[in-house]
Each structure stands twice: as C-alpha cells, then as structure tokens.
Amino acid sequence: MEDTIITRPSLFEMLNHLEKEYTKPDSKLETKESGRKGLKVATLSNGQKYSVRTSRKRYFFPHEWYGFWNALETDGQRLTADMLINTGARINEAYNVLVGDIDWEKKTMTLRITKIKASKGEDKSEPRTIKLSSAFIERLKIYCKGKNPTDKIGMMSKPYTRQMIKRFCKKSGIKDEFNFSPHNFRKTAGNFLKALNVNPLEICSRLGHDQNTFLKAYGSSDVFSKEERLEIRKIVGDIYEWNL
C-alpha cells in the first residue's frame, strides 16, 4: 500500500491553530486512520489534510538520534537540530537567540524570549540563562562565524523545521516520524538529563518548566540501558558532570 501524502499549512500560526481546533469538542475536524499503522489524518472543511500526533511524549533514543543526525544534509539543518537537542528550548525560544546572547567564555546562552505562562499569572517573558557543553560551544563558533552580535544565529524557519524533522526522521528509519516535532527535541533533552540522574529541579530550571508539568510530561529514565546512558553522556557533553 502506498504511503499517504500529508501536507501541512505553511504558516506556523496555522499549525498552532489547527492543534487547538482539533482539541475542541465541537470541532469540525474529522480524523481517521490512514494507510500507515498508527498514523491518523485530520481533514479541514476545505479538504486539506494534516497528520495528528498519536503520542506527545515521544523522544529520541540514542541510536535514533545518531541516525537522524547523520541523515541531515546542510549546516542549517544541523544547527537547528543541534540547538534544539542541546538547549531543550522551545522552538520560539531557540529561534530568537542572537549571537550576542552567547557568552563564549562562560559557555552560557541567555534565552531572552521565553514562554509567557498567562495561566500562572505571568504577563511578560522571563529570560533564563543555561549552560552549554564545550563541544556544542565549539560548533556554535563555526555556525556563527562572520555574524554580528545582533544577528540571529541562523536556525531554519519554524515551518521548515517541522517539515525537516519529519523528513529526516523518516529517512533515518524512524517508523513513527509523524509523532516528531520540535517539541520532541525538548522531550529528548529532558529525558536525557533525567537518565543521567540530574536533579529534576535543575532540569525544570533549565527547560523553564514547573515541577508538576515535568512529572506529567516526561517518562521513566529506567527505559535506557547502561550502554544507552553512556551514549547519552556523549550526546549531552560535559554539562552536569558534577552529577557523576
């Protein structure tokens, strides 16, 4: 059976709108199983189709990450994936980072534009500063070469990032690539740190999460084998080495 061809709206705002509409009880969106196992397709009133994630808790295992990384073709793709996996930042937080937000000596990055949690009474963005691994800092120097402090570091556009992730997840052999979005890199970053026994409060501080959200959204780190934990340490680099 041939794969179902899925197209997404081109605008990031439309993608968010569709996700919200799908969760409404009176939504006019219709979903049905496609020809691929586990893939559900939603159809708008205008006939446009898009894939619906069946699991929002999906994350990369180390071998999946290596496969995905090795499938990437351009520096822009690698920079985008590198940023998401190494910072655990939300896509909008990472996309708006400027070269000047990086402290090369201290190996830190300040996320100036962060999520405003209106439900918790927040009315403005609260910047947070995170530590970066030595290896990632060296790669950032290459990515940012020739850029000014006021320049963005050069991540791919948000709509393209979503398409790129699914394309290379599929290319690398991940069967449920439709479950992957930029947010799953955030899930991966959190679960990798959890697997290294980093204090949950420290992970929450890094990701900009409250503890209840972290406990609900992140799975058990016991699913990783000893060998996988060693590979995770290689991917994460030398941050939180004091935790060893």
* Domain CATH code at residue 210: 1.10.443.10
Q: How many domains does the chain have?
A: 2
Q: Are residues 29 and 150 in the same domain?
A: no
pLDDT truncated to tens, each residue of the chain (244 aa)? 445 444 444 444 444 444 444 333 333 444 444 455 555 555 656 665 555 556 668 899 999 999 999 999 999 999 999 999 999 999 999 999 999 999 999 999 999 988 876 566 666 778 999 999 999 999 999 999 999 999 999 999 999 999 999 999 999 999 999 999 999 999 999 999 999 999 989 999 999 987 777 777 776 778 899 999 999 999 999 999 875 5
Helix, strand, or coil (residue 92): helix
Q: Are residues 48 and 145 in the same domain?
A: no
> Distance from CA of residue 148 to its chain's centroid?
26
Q: Are residues 102 and 123 in the same domain?
A: yes
pLDDT score recorded for residue 29: 40
Q: What is the pTM of this model?
A: 0.76
Would you say 223 and 58 are in contact if contact means Cβ atoms under 8 Å apart? no
**Domain around 71:** 62-237
Q: Are residues 91 and 66 in the same domain?
A: yes
Would you say 12 and 28 are in contact if contact means Cβ atoms under 8 Å apart? no
Angle at 168 between CA 12 and CA 156, to 5 degrees: 40
Q: Are residues 128 and 230 in the same domain?
A: yes
Q: Are residues 36 and 146 in the same domain?
A: no
Q: Are residues 90 and 48 in the same domain?
A: no
Token readout for 115 is 């999520």
Tokens 């999946």 correspond to 64
pLDDT score recorded for residue 54: 60
Q: Are residues 224 and 184 in the same domain?
A: yes
Whether 4 is in a domain gets the answer no
